[in-house]
Chain A
């Protein structure tokens, strides 16, 4: 596979551009301004940047007040400090009145060595249960680049699961993220594979090898978790001979796998679903690569599930998968500071 372009601080650039052309856009930060890549916005638009300190409950309700007056608050902090610490505020101040507040939640799942307190492993499960909310998840530079515009096109509250730092560009820059429409990465008749976030890049490496092994995969990168009614999901499942696999950097309960199992039940689809996800557990602080392997949400985990579905061993080794890296992202063993 050809070398993949790596881009750094994608959100930093795009939120600045958004601020330039949208005078009603405000940015709020909970003492994690550089960590959430909004330091540039702060410096460029100091009168539209609100430092809210370590007071996330107030930050959520305050944002709701700003939205009531016609501003569009873009709230930035780590996801855990949103959906865990300030859930009641997200519900009663933002979701209940259906206000256009955009929550940019950073450090999903295994993407931080910050340990259990910093790893958002059940954010989708929690926020998916909130009326009025839309949930978007980013997985590459193009997703991150275009997600602000998409979030702002929705007249209501939006939660965005953000990736940051050095990101691979898996999709062409002009191929923007769309609401409730998965990106088709590869087509195939054997298995329907749905992946989200950082798992997509991981899956792409395995899919390449699987193709060489003669297993064809219909691979879709899902970016909208709520609503979850993309007809492509149904047709992909219907078209897969051996079964369906979901792959996510999130707990097994209430995330992508659950969304798909609901679709399967509601539409009486005849398929077996294998869920690749964090298996109902909190994690520790460690590198992304280490955690993906340890908790079985990496390319090798995908190979194992494919083998189960097709009923035969493919003899793909970790070394084969390493060779199949489609970029240098993980090779650099990049661990970002908090």
Chain B
């Protein structure tokens, strides 16, 4: 029996395109480059490094394979911050420009834990949507390339800093898009820590109630949050069972396995949102981080020696 036929039999759908795996090598190159770029930035400034380690494959998959986005409409070097949206300030451009123009058939991307902003910027750079010099503006006063992204930050459409809100907003967008007859998918990137927020479950319940099957969610289940290991801060137990119980179609995979990611997102999910729980390691690709485990949320070097070690790791990547 051919691989293709076997796969169709097992999954009940046509996965022919998966049998052509040439994209995987390209995506892995991008994932590695995301880690490298974030590490390079961290060596200089400190930063949200572990998020890049756990989610590099997810972001490379989304931007290089999964999402159907138009070409970026944002300038390679992002404009400075001109003020929050208001009746007096209609000038500030949304960071969503970097995900291409709105189009009925195109997808939309919502980053919920905007603490992953640096990883998102790196993904935009590696997929040619943002100039690499943009990171010089990271967390610089007056810049839009903020540490925890705002609506104006490249690749962002909402301010997700207060957890649990972006998923509900994206659900509203998905309801509205379906109402308008649009074909595009609404993609949401979640982290596992924010599944402790009640609003996350209100949102899943609502997506399921309104049969929003134009939503695909990836959960970066890296098992760590600010205070340490998620199991010790507030254990989530069986995350997949929870999503299923709230009415989502679910799949749990190895989040570093690009082929598994693609296969999971190809799963049919009629009348339900699809939630792919990507089990990941917050030190993947940068073994040095294991020494700090489980305090990985934000990497701030304790000594010059530690910085040197990370600089060496960067040289060896």
Contacts and interface: CB of A to CB of B under 8 A. Distances in A.
A224 B175 CA distance: 33
B172 interface: yes
Given A55-B202, A58-B203, A61-B165, A97 B176 contact: no
Nearest to A70: B176
Contacts of A61: 164-169, 171-172, 199, 203
B173 A89 contact: no
Interface residues of A, number: 30
Contact of B162 (A68, A92, A97): A92
A131 B169 CA distance: 20
Interface in B187-227: 198-199, 202-203, 205-206, 209-210
B168 to A, nearest CB: 3
Interface residues of B, number: 34
B268 interface: no
A63 interface: yes
Chain B interface helix/strand/loop/mixed: helix
B41 interface: no
Interface in A70-91: 70-71, 88-89
A127 to B, nearest CB: 16
B168 A62 contact: yes
Contact of A57 (B86, B174, B180, B199): B199
A68 B165 contact: no
Interface string A93-104: 100111000000
A62, A68, A98, A131 — which one has the most chain B CB atoms within 10 A of its CB? A62
Given A61-B199, A71-B176, 13 more contacts: A47-B179, A53-B209, A55-B206, A57-B165, A57-B168, A62-B175, A68-B176, A88-B165, A93-B168, A96-B85, A98-B86, A131-B86, A132-B87
Interface of B: 84-87, 151, 157-159, 161-162, 164-177, 179-180, 198-199, 202-203, 205-206, 209-210
11 contacts: A52-B206, A57-B202, A58-B202, A58-B203, A61-B169, A62-B168, A65-B168, A65-B172, A69-B176, A97-B159, A132-B85
